[in-house]
């Protein structure tokens, strides 16, 4: 299996995150990707390839142009005001307030942020841009005939909505990749999000569409970030009714219950009959992850990788979350190995 990866992820190296009432070292940090690529090399998973630069067109197809333009200049505008810290929003257009975009950077941050934990720092835009290019490169290899590709994206993307950032995400890599597959000839694409947190951004982008089926397995929003999206009754809107499926689960969920939800999601994907599958691969479902409450063990990741392979679909794995850095590489590669090994065994029959 090919891995698409760039060292430019290091450009995203913020020092502050608002967590538990304190400014702490971000859980989403460069060492995450280094643990994963180190395990990819150790396991000899396959060739590691630099991304191609596909430009902005694919990004603009899933994100509001004004929002993207804001991300490009947010750090420079913050610096221009001589603020000494990293850019963190402090005010939002809450209920019954005006929904107009302010001119001042403080207001702009709040307008475009879905949450306040994620700071913008030097290099954030460049890293986010290249993370999207990693996903687009992975999609291009899928379009060229590869049956399984791993896009090691950092920063992650599934919380990035049409015009909002947060949850460590700025551009929605999985959505950008799915749209590019459609643009390159696919009639239908499915996205299955196995990250612990709900893929609110992906849901927002495709909620009114029937050419993308989105299924998300996640911590119940009553108990887990992002809290305000991801309920079971969110089934799509307009043409998208029936093409959005959520599987919220309560604290302490183990692999058997989680896998039952995955089985149902994969059955829905099979009935949808897509031309390709995008997996938003978050491994923060691990039992020792510091900011989640599911109880999957390392071997479980290998088992569900094989479950995904049974669909026999061209599959792009797009890296999302996972914050227990001692195990993140093992758990990520276990999914990919479980997928690849079953595909190889079936091909050999």
pTM of the predicted protein model: 0.98
Mean pLDDT of 260-282: 98
Place of tokens 């939002």: 92
Query: Among the residues of 151-272, which ranges form H helices?
Result: 173-183, 200-206, 255-272
Q: Is the pLDDT of residue 318 over 70?
A: yes
Single out the catalytic residue among 159, 197, 218, 220.
159
pLDDT at 213 over 80: yes
Mean pLDDT lowest among 39-48, 270-279, 322-331: 322-331
**What strands, in cross-sheet order, belong to the sheet with 189-193?**
48-49, 2-4, 148-151, 315-319, 276-281, 189-193, 212-219, 244-249
3-state SS, residue 189: strand
Q: What is the pLDDT of residues 36-70, one digit of tens each?
A: 999 999 999 999 999 999 999 999 999 999 999 99
Contact criterion met (CB below 8 Å) for 338 and 301: yes
Structure tokens belonging to residue 242:
């029936």
Q: What is the overall mean pLDDT for the chain?
A: 97
Residue 23 has pLDDT above 90, yes or no: yes
The question of whether 159 is a catalytic residue gets the answer: yes
253 three-state secondary structure: coil
Q: Quick check: 226 and 305 in contact, CB under 8 A?
A: no
Predicted confidence at residue 143, as pLDDT, reads: 87
Is residue 178 within 8 A of residue 209, CB to CB? The reply is no
pLDDT at 342: 73
pLDDT at 206 over 90: yes
Residues in the chain: 349
Looking at residue 29, what is its pLDDT?
A: 97
Report whether pLDDT(325) > 90.
no
Percent of the chain having pLDDT more than 90? 96
Q: pLDDT value at position 349? A: 66
């Amino acid at each position: 299996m090919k891995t698409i990866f760039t060292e430019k992820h290091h450009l995203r190296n913020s020092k502050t995150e608002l967590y538990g009432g304190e400014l702490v070292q971000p859980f989403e940090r460069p060492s995450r990707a280094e643990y994963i690529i180190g395990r990819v090399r150790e396991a000899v998973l396959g060739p590691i390839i630099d991304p191609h630069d596909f430009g902005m067109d694919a990004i603009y197809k899933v994100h509001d142009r004004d929002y993207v333009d804001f991300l490009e200049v947010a750090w420079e505008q913050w610096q221009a005001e001589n603020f000494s810290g990293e850019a963190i929003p402090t005010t939002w257009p809450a209920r019954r307030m005006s929904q107009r975009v302010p001119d001042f950077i403080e207001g702009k941050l709040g307008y475009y942020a879905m949450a306040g934990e994620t700071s913008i720092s030097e290099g954030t835009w460049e890293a986010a841009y290249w993370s999207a290019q990693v996903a687009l490169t992975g999609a291009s290899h899928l379009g060229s005939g590869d049956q399984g590709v791993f896009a090691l994206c950092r920063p992650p993307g599934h919380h990035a909505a049409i015009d909002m950032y947060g949850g460590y995400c700025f551009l929605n890599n999985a959505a950008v990749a799915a749209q590019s597959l459609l643009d390159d000839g696919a009639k239908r694409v499915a996205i299955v999000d196995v990250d612990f947190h709900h893929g609110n951004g992906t849901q927002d982008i495709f909620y009114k569409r029937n050419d993308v089926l989105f299924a998300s397995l996640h911590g119940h929003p009553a108990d887990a970030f992002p809290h305000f999206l991801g309920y079971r009754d969110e089934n799509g809107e307009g043409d998208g009714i029936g093409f959005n499926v959520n599987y919220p689960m309560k604290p302490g969920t183990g692999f058997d219950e989680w896998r039952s939800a995955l089985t149902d999601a994969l059955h829905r994907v099979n009935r949808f009959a897509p031309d390709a599958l995008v997996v938003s691969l978050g491994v923060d479902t691990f039992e020792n992850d510091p900011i989640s409450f599911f109880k999957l063990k390392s071997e479980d990741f290998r088992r569900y990788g094989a479950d995904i392979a049974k669909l026999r679909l061209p599959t792009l794995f797009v890296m999302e979350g996972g914050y227990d850095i001692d195990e993140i590489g093992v758990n990520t590669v276990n999914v990919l190995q479980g997928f690849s090994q079953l595909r190889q065994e079936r091909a050999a029959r």
